[in-house]
A and B are shown apart, each in its own frame.
Chain A
């Protein structure tokens, strides 16, 4: 249906363009009173960098440097038992769709193991964990669909007890205040959120997937197909990668709008163009060179600043009141070289500005120059890296016009 609608719209546009001076960028009433509306391409989804859904919780509760979009989830096979949820954080640093239970109003089928016990997951992130049941949904974004996809429902009241093996890995991010979003749309280079290590019986468990009989949740293995996984890679088309396009931000703005484009080289709107392909390891890691020293690095739209190295190495002081952000006296340009596993390399310049000053205006949510230390070493290129770039993420094992993933390109 979408393709037909698109073709008809295109034909009407073409006819009108010949008949009149009306363009096709917006609704226009041409001769003969045809109402013409351009249909967005089915692989294009709008994203907004703003303070996100947590801003309703009060002053200072909003997100800074987070890109949000909406997803539609339906009970598998249903076109009526559906819900569109906005405020979903666009995250190229994880894989899988995760939705806060408090934001989900429709019932979805629960995934169970061979003994009919429900499956729940503990997903580990750098700064905490999400805990909750694995359920199944048809996931629709723009004109794309992933059918019967395993997703995680975070903070479900039906699974109130976080197993000790999970709680010990970090503090839960199970509500709007701690997650800062209604959910996460994980579209990283990996297909599954755990992979073979969770699927292999006999190896030590990772505290990731749990079988939850009424007696309590216990570690279990989880097959690759059953794991929570990258929704875009499960689309029926345009499933080999994703492009996040954000406008340049100079200083700070309250809101900026960009796009997600699904697929790489699968349509007329998602070719690589002049982008450079940087090969990565299977998890999306590459190398960044700073002052002649090599460091491990990755791109992550779900990190809200460029986190890199430390005050000693960079010579940039951290803020006196916020130890996890940099506060240079005046803004500095940092020059590094990104080095892919395929031998491609290219310079990157980014700004580190004073975080205290940047965050002093509560109306600002899209801020360039926000950066902080990553004391483990290396570079976590968060959302400010994506400003003014079209960043391609090619998924592990998927063929694209730029070669087989995983790779990053911009």
Chain B
């Protein structure tokens, strides 16, 4: 895994699971990524570099989920785009309640609709786009691998 260059591994997987939306838990390990790969019927593509791995799942319903995993196996970021948002409860895991409170607090400040930007100590969630073309990302700033910026999660 010390390759300096990117390599791409494409695997087509066929599974019969009916569950539909992905969400490896932030802070979780590789097993949560594998769970998602089983739940989402589609193509998995893994991209690696010398700092982290990206597991990209293209589901048959058009949703693309990218899960960012450190070389030690820690999920530090998730990004998505498509028709709907992923299961945020699963994606955010233990951070979900903190997120939900922050959303309500932000709503109290808002005077209309627009992209959601939650920046909490230890948790960042950004959701935007418009109907049928939604996107978002969530990450744990403190878990970013050394030398890796949040902008890689997209």
Contact = CB atoms under 8 A, between A and B. Distances in A.
Contacts of B88: 168-170
Interface string B100-117: 100110110111111111
A141 B52 CA distance: 54
Nearest to A300: B130
B45 interface: no
Contacts of A75: none
Given A124-B83, A197-B61, A376-B135, A304 B127 contact: no
Given A123-B131, A188-B131, A206 B117 contact: no
Contact of B20 (A63, A207, A300): A207
Contact of B117 (A195, A204, A359, A373): A373
Contacts of A378: 128
A304 B111 contact: yes
B59 interface: yes
7 contacts: A123-B131, A169-B88, A194-B83, A206-B83, A300-B130, A307-B115, A375-B126
Contact of A126 (B42, B89, B119, B128): B128
Contacts of A9: none
Contacts of A374: 115, 128
Given A197-B62, A197-B83, A126 B20 contact: no
B133 interface: yes
Contacts of A168: 21, 86-90
B15 to A, nearest CB: 11
Contacts of B103: 128, 170-171
B137 interface: yes
Given A203-B61, A205-B61, A305 B129 contact: no
Interface in B122-147: 126-137
A138 interface: no
Contacts of A125: 113, 130-131, 134
Given A372-B117, A380-B114, 4 more contacts: A169-B84, A188-B131, A194-B132, A374-B115
A29 to B, nearest CB: 44
Contacts of A300: 130
A324 interface: yes
Contacts of B86: 168-169
Interface string A236-268: 000000000000000000000000000000000
A153 to B, nearest CB: 18
Given A207-B21, A284-B130, A298-B133, A171 B113 contact: no
Interface string B39-63: 0111000000000000000011111
Contacts of A62: 111
Given A169-B88, A206-B20, A324-B106, A298 B114 contact: no
Residue with the greatest number of chain B CB neighbours at <10 A, chosen from A93, A300, A376:
A376
A380 B41 contact: no
Interface string B15-30: 0000011000000000
Interface range for B = 35 or more
Contacts of B132: 95, 190, 193-195, 283
Interface string A258-302: 000000000000000000000000011100000000000010101
Interface in A352-388: 359, 372-378, 380, 382
Contacts of B60: 203-204
Nearest to A365: B111
B50 to A, nearest CB: 25
A206 B80 CA distance: 13
A127 B104 CA distance: 11
Contact of A380 (B40, B90, B109, B130): B130
A89 B63 CA distance: 28
B92 to A, nearest CB: 10
A304 B107 CA distance: 13
A170 B85 contact: yes
Interface string A10-54: 000000000000000000000000000000000000000000000
Nearest to A313: B151
Given A127-B115, A169-B84, A94 B59 contact: no
A310 B32 CA distance: 31
Contacts of B137: 376
A336 B136 CA distance: 24
B108 to A, nearest CB: 9
B111 A126 contact: no
Contacts of B21: 165, 168, 206-207
Nearest to A376: B128
Contacts of A186: 131
A170 B60 CA distance: 22
